[in-house]
C-alpha cells in the first residue's frame, strides 16, 4: 500500500532548494539535468534535483578558489560568529532537518533528532576553535635567532560525504574547514542529498560569503570528482565511505600530493567478558548494533562473547530485538526503518545465509521483508563459525552475530583479526583488564562499557584500513591547517 506524503512533509520538501549551490547562487545543472531522490520506506520519488556535470564541479571549484583568499583573511571572530549563527539556525530548524533525514534516508525520527543534536555540535565546537588557532615563538637553541611557527589554512577543500548520516557528516567536515579559513566544495551522496542542501540554505542565512561553500550533488560521483581532485588548485580531500573507494581516491589524490582525510570501513568488535555487567552489555549492544538500522561505520559488527555468558547474553538481546517495531521512520515507536536500497538488503540476506550454511543458528529475524520499501528484519544469530563472511565483512544492516571465546588472549586475537581498525567496544568490570584492552585493541577509538563513542569534542578516526586523519576534537581543525616556520636572525 502506497503511503501518501503528509502535508508537513510536502511543505518541507518544497522548501529544499533543488539546484546546485555555486558562488552563492542556486543554479540549474549544465543542460538542465536532474535526478530523483526516493524514500527508501516506500520507493516513492520525493524530489527531483539538479544533477551536476564535471564542468559544474569545476565551476564550483572556481568559486571556492576565488573566495579562498578573502575567507582566509576574514577575522577568526567573524568566522566563529557565522558558525555559531549556523548552529543557532540548526536549533531553530531541528525538526525540519530530522524529518528530512527520515524521509530521504529512512532512519526513525527519534534517531534523526539525535543526529541533529550531534551534527549541530560540530558547528558549536568549531565556532569556539576558530578563535584558538595559535602558533609559537621562541629563541632557537643556538641563540642566533627567533623562531616563529604559525598556522595557515590549507586552502580549497573537496568533501565527499556518505548517505548514512547526511547531516552530521556534512557538519563534521564543513565546520572545521570554515573555522580554519578554508573554502569548500561538497558533493553530498546521491541517495541522501537533500539534508546537505537544506543545511547549506541555513549557512546562507547565517551570513556565509558567496563561494565559501559550494554544493554539487550528482548521480555520477566519479565523473564529477575526478576532475576536481586532479585540479592543481585543490589542496585538500576528505572522504567518508568504503575502504575500496577510499583507496581509489587516495591514489588519485597522490598525483597532486593533496592533504587527505579518510574515514573508511569498519568491522567493530564488541567484546563481552565473563565478568561484564550484562545489563550494561545488552544496552550497549542495542545501541552499538541497531542505531541507524545498523548502517554505521561504528556499528558493532562482531559480537565476541565469553562462552560462560554467551547464552544469557543471546537470550537477553533476542528478547529486546523481537520487541523492535519495524516501519517507516515517521511512525510512532518505530525502531527499525528501511535499509537504504535493495543492494543493502541483498547483502544482509547473503551474509546471514553464509553464516547459517556454516552452522550458525538464527534466534530471531534473518529475512528480507516483502514490502514496497527495502526492509530487513532485525536479526540475532549465534554460534557463528570462524571464517564466516559476516565476521570479515562490514554488515551495514540490523544483524547481530555472536561468536564465543575462552581466554582474554583469544578475545584480543579475534578482535584484531581484521584489516579494519575504526572502533571497538569492551565490556568488563575489571579496571586493569579495561586498561589492557585500551593498549591491546588495534582501533582508533574504543568504548569501555558503553555502546556509543562519537562526540564532537573527541577525535574520530581509525587505524589500519579504516582511514587516516581525525575529525572532531582539538585535532579536527588541524586537518585544515598547514604549519609555517619562519626564522628571524638576531642581526
Place of cell 555559531: 84
CA distance 258 to 155: 11
CA distance 33 to 219: 10
* Cα torsion 9, 10, 14, 17: sign: positive
**Which residues are designated catalytic?**
263, 297
Q: What are the CA-CA distances from residue 160 to residues 36, 348, 463 (Å)?
A: 19, 25, 20
Residues in the chain: 491
- List of residues 6+ apart from 190 with CB closer than 8 A: 35, 37, 163, 217, 218, 219, 221
**Partners of residue 184 on adjacent β-strands:** 157, 213
Place of cell 581532485: 229
Residue 199 cell numbers, joined: 543545511
Kind of pairing between the strands at 445-448 and 481-489? unpaired
Answer left, alpha or beta for residue 143, where phi above 0 means left and psi between -120 and 50 means alpha: left
CA distance 127 to 21: 23
Query: How many separate helices (H) and strands (E) can be counted in the chain?
Result: 16, 26
* Closest by Cα among 282, 183, 162, 191 to 228: 183
Distance, C-alpha 449 to centroid of its chain: 22
Burial grade of 419 (CB within 10 A; 0-12, 13-18, 19 or more): exposed
CA distance 162 to 96: 20
Residue 64 cell numbers, joined: 571556492
- List of residues 6+ apart from 188 with CB closer than 8 A: 161, 166, 170, 195, 196, 197, 215, 217
* Closest by Cα among 350, 421, 358, 407 to 379: 350
Kind of pairing between the strands at 379-382 and 399-405? parallel
CA dihedral 430, 432, 436, 439 (to 10 degrees): 120
* Closest by Cα among 262, 309, 322 to 281: 309
Amino acid at each position: 500500500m502506497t503511503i501518501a506524503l503528509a502535508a508537513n512533509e510536502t511543505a518541507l520538501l518544497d522548501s529544499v532548494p533543488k539546484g546546485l549551490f555555486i558562488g552563492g547562487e542556486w543554479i540549474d545543472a549544465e543542460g538542465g539535468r536532474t535526478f530523483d531522490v526516493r524514500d527508501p520506506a516506500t520507493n516513492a520519488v520525493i524530489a527531483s534535483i539538479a544533477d551536476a556535470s564535471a564542468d559544474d564541479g569545476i565551476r564550483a571549484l572556481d568559486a571556492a578558489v576565488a573566495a579562498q583568499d578573502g575567507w582566509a583573511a576574514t577575522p577568526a571572530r567573524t568566522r566563529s560568529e557565522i558558525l555559531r549563527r549556523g548552529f543557532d539556525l540548526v536549533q531553530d530548524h531541528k525538526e525540519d532537518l530530522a524529518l528530512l533525514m527520515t524521509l530521504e534516508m529512512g532512519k526513525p525520527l527519534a534517531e534523526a533528532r539525535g543526529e541533529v543534536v550531534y551534527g549541530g555540535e560540530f558547528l558549536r565546537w568549531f565556532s569556539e576553535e576558530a578563535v584558538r588557532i595559535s602558533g609559537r615563538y621562541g629563541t632557537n637553541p643556538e641563540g642566533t635567532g627567533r623562531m616563529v611557527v604559525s598556522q595557515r589554512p590549507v586552502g580549497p577543500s573537496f568533501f565527499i560525504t556518505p548517505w548514512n548520516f547526511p547531516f552530521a557528516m556534512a557538519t563534521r567536515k564543513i565546520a572545521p574547514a570554515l573555522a580554519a579559513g578554508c573554502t569548500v566544495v561538497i558533493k553530498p551522496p546521491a541517495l541522501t542529498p537533500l539534508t546537505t542542501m537544506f543545511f547549506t540554505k541555513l549557512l546562507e542565512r547565517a551570513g556565509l560569503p558567496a563561494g565559501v561553500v559550494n554544493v554539487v550533488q550528482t548521480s555520477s560521483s566519479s565523473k564529477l570528482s575526478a576532475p576536481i581532485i586532479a585540479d592543481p588548485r585543490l589542496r585538500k580531500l576528505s572522504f567518508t565511505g568504503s575502504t575500496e573507494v577510499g583507496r581509489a581516491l587516495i591514489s588519485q589524490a597522490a598525483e597532486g600530493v593533496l592533504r587527505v582525510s579518510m574515514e573508511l570501513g569498519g568491522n567493530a568488535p564488541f567484546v563481552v567478558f565473563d565478568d561484564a555487567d550484562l545489563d550494561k552489555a545488552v544496552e550497549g549492544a542495542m545501541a552499538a548494533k541497531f542505531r541507524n538500522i545498523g548502517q554505521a561505520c561504528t556499528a558493532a559488527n562482531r559480537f565476541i562473547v565469553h562462552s560462560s555468558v554467551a547464552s544469557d547474553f543471546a537470550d537477553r538481546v533476542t528478547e529486546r530485538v523481537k520487541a523492535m517495531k519495524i516501519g517507516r521512520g515517521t511512525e510512532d515507536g518505530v525502531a527499525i526503518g528501511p535499509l537504504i536500497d535493495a543492494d543493502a538488503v541483498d547483502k544482509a540476506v547473503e551474509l546471514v545465509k553464509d553464516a547459517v550454511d556454516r552452522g550458525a543458528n538464527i534466534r530471531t529475524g534473518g529475512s528480507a521483508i516483502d514490502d514496497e520499501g527495502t526492509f530487513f528484519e532485525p536479526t540475532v544469530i549465534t554460534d557463528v563459525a570462524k571464517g564466516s563472511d559476516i565476521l570479515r565483512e562490514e554488515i551495514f544492516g540490523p544483524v547481530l552475530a555472536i561468536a564465543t571465546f575462552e581466554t582474554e588472549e583469544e578475545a584480543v586475537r579475534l578482535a584484531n583479526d581484521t584489516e579494519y581498525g575504526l572502533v571497538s567496544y569492551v565490556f568488563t568490570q575489571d579496571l586493569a583488564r579495561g586498561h589492557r584492552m585500551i593498549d591491546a585493541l588495534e582501533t582508533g577509538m574504543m568504548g569501555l562499557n558503553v555502546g556509543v563513542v562519537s562526540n564532537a569534542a573527541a577525535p574520530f578516526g581509525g587505524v589500519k584500513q579504516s582511514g587516516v586523519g581525525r575529525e572532531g576534537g582539538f585535532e579536527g581543525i588541524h586537518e585544515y591547517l598547514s604549519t609555517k616556520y619562519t626564522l628571524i636572525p638576531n642581526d
